[in-house]
Amino acid sequence: MRAILAVSEGRRSTLADGLATEGVQIIAAVAPTDPLHAAEDRLPPDETAALAAGLAEADVLVIDLDRTTVTEHLVSVCDRAGVRIVPLGTDVRLSAILGIEAPCAHDIEPWLLAESLSGTPGVAAEDPGQPRSGGRTVVVWGPAGAPGRSTVAVEIAVEIARGAAGVALVDADSHAPSLALTLGLPDEGPGFAAACRQAEVGGLDARELTRISIPLGRTGVDVLTGINRPSRWPELSETRVGAALEVCRSWVGHTVVDVAASLERDEEIVSDLDGPRRNAATLAALASADLVVAVTAADPVGVSRFLRQMPEVRGVVGDTPIAVVANRLRPGALGLDARGQVRRTLERFGGVRDVWFVPQDPRSADAALLSARSIAETAPRSPFTHAIRRFVGEAILPPDVAHGRRAA
């Protein structure tokens, strides 16, 4: 058994020595971003023939699985050379998209890896090209006044990823997109607008979504960033947004969508009835939602704005369930029994009986903003994180998954 080892430097020597002890011949040990240096002294490295020549000496390629290391081109070259790819990592969905076997753990013992190399190749658990029956769309909406809907959307996505594989976070805000800036992600890339354009012409699938999305660190969340200029809002038309979100159902198990506050339809104030609509993205996302998370600021002004717009939300989503989150709860703005006052007001004037409360936690929020990460990453034990975790476990995830997370 001859192998090319393309793993991180910290594990490279340990795995190489361990595999050699198990009788595996290591013909090259390189960085995961360039596993084919062995071909460079024979043919130009940029040519497919050169890559195939380097791989032809090996029976198997052991490589850290990442969208930057295991590409379609590499898989194609390995197929031509008859080389088996054994990925190391946790991204089962990416391995399925690329059509390679399910990954082994990064910290796998060398003797176990040697057994895997000599055994029958595994198969990725699921083909993302086929629609998933469990794909759900969760749309996070809130009225004007910055109630914290984008922050809540990020934390919900990260929290879902702890208990369910395959989570996408979509910035469909056509007025003030902020996810890329908040999370320190590049916003000059294709993002959600590109997904919408591809969906309109029928060219969007799970493989393309994986290519244009950006992984959010090690959270397991893939982000489709929003438009980088508000003037690009016509790219997010109702037809495009609806089609793109429908494809997302076959890409991931949960799609969390952050939308703008405005809901008004402007047909009566424009002359072109077939022209683009500024709020089409929000309306299309809400219409395609399986669950709407409605975020209100837990203060008198925020609750008032929320109650005035809730009838419009209900008119758009119909019978779709709505889960209400009262964000930034603090006694200073409401006096004694702030929680009870918000609950009674929402029930009396809006008929809202179930409310989940999230406390104001400026220290954790500031730390997350400073590091351009989610609050769950920077302050995993903060009151905010615990409140979102409770909400996701009770309102979004299936009971068996939520129970398993609490037990863990």
Low-confidence ranges of the chain (pLDDT < 50): 36-51, 122-133, 271, 402-404, 406-408
pTM beyond 0.85: no
What is the predicted pLDDT for the residue at 44? 44
What is the predicted pLDDT for the residue at 139? 98
What torsion, rounded to 10 degrees, do the Cα atoms 276, 281, 283, 286 define?
160
What is the DSSP secondary structure assignment for residue 42, as one 8-state letter? Answer: T
User: Alpha-carbon distance 71 to 91, whole Å?
Assistant: 14
What is the predicted pLDDT for the residue at 48? 45
Q: How are strands ordered across the β-sheet holding 167-171? A: 214-215, 221-224, 167-171, 254-258, 136-141, 291-297, 322-329, 355-359
What is the predicted pLDDT for the residue at 275? 59
What is the predicted pLDDT for the residue at 278? 87
- Which domains does the chain possess? 2-118 (3.40.50), 136-407 (3.40.50.300)
What is the predicted pLDDT for the residue at 183? 96
Q: List, for residues 32-82, the tens digit of each pLDDT value.
A: 775 544 444 433 444 444 445 556 678 888 899 888 888 877 887 787 777
